[in-house]
Structure formats: C-alpha cells, structure tokens
Amino acid sequence: MKSIYPEIATLLLELEGELRRLGEWQAEPPSAEALASTQPFCVDTLSLPQWLQFVFLPRMRQLVESELPLPAKCGIAPMAEEFFRGSDLPAQGLVSKLLAIDECLERGY
C-alpha cells in the first residue's frame, strides 16, 4: 500500500506557494491570543489565509514529518471558495490545492 505522506507534503508546499503568489503570506505571526482561539478555523481572530499559514500548514507538516495519522477529511476547499468569493484575488489555484489535499486525505492510503 502506497503512503500518501509524500503527496501531502508536496501539496502543502504548493499551498504555501499559492499563499505567497497571492500576497497572503505574512512575515509576522498573529498574536498568541489570536492563535489560541477556540473557534473552528480561528474564525473570530484570523483570516482564512492566516489560519492556513499559522495553524493548518504547521499542524499538517508536523503530522507528515512524524508520519502520524492524518485526518480522514478536511473540507477546507469550500471554505476557501466562500472566503474568496467576490475578492479581486485570483484564488482558484489556492482553492484547487486545498481541494487536492481534501481529496487525497479522503482517498487515504
């Protein structure tokens, strides 16, 4: 059975690239208080791009690097579609990467 860890690792790198391409990559992290939100996706303290950069990517990278169990489902692509709806940013590449991550996780090993 083929491991999906390498594929997920590549998709995470590509997701970072899309955030950078859109100008949504930040040099400085949000405050510790903002990151400590108990709301799903930190919706009360972070934008979706911030959540992807400072919460999702680090957590997923840690799981991949340690070969720990990955979530069976993420469902982030629909959130990204909604977040960028009406935006001037060409975010289809970012949404596509999130969809690929969602599909890979759902497919599993």
7-59 pLDDT, tens digit each: 999 999 999 999 999 999 999 999 999 999 999 889 999 999 999 999 999 99
| Cα–Cα distance for residue pair 55/49, rounded to 1 Å | 10
On whether the CB atoms of residues 78 and 102 are closer than 8 A, the answer is no
Residue 73's pLDDT is: 86
- The token pair that represents 56 in the structure block: 């999702």
Closest alpha carbon to 72 in 49, 43, 101:
101
Residue 11, φ and ψ in degrees, nearest 5: -65, -35
The residue written with tokens 């890979």 in the block is: 104
The residue written with tokens 């400072």 in the block is: 54
High-pLDDT (> 90) share of the chain, %: 86
On whether the CB atoms of residues 89 and 22 are closer than 8 A, the answer is yes
23-36 pLDDT, tens digit each: 999 999 999 999 99
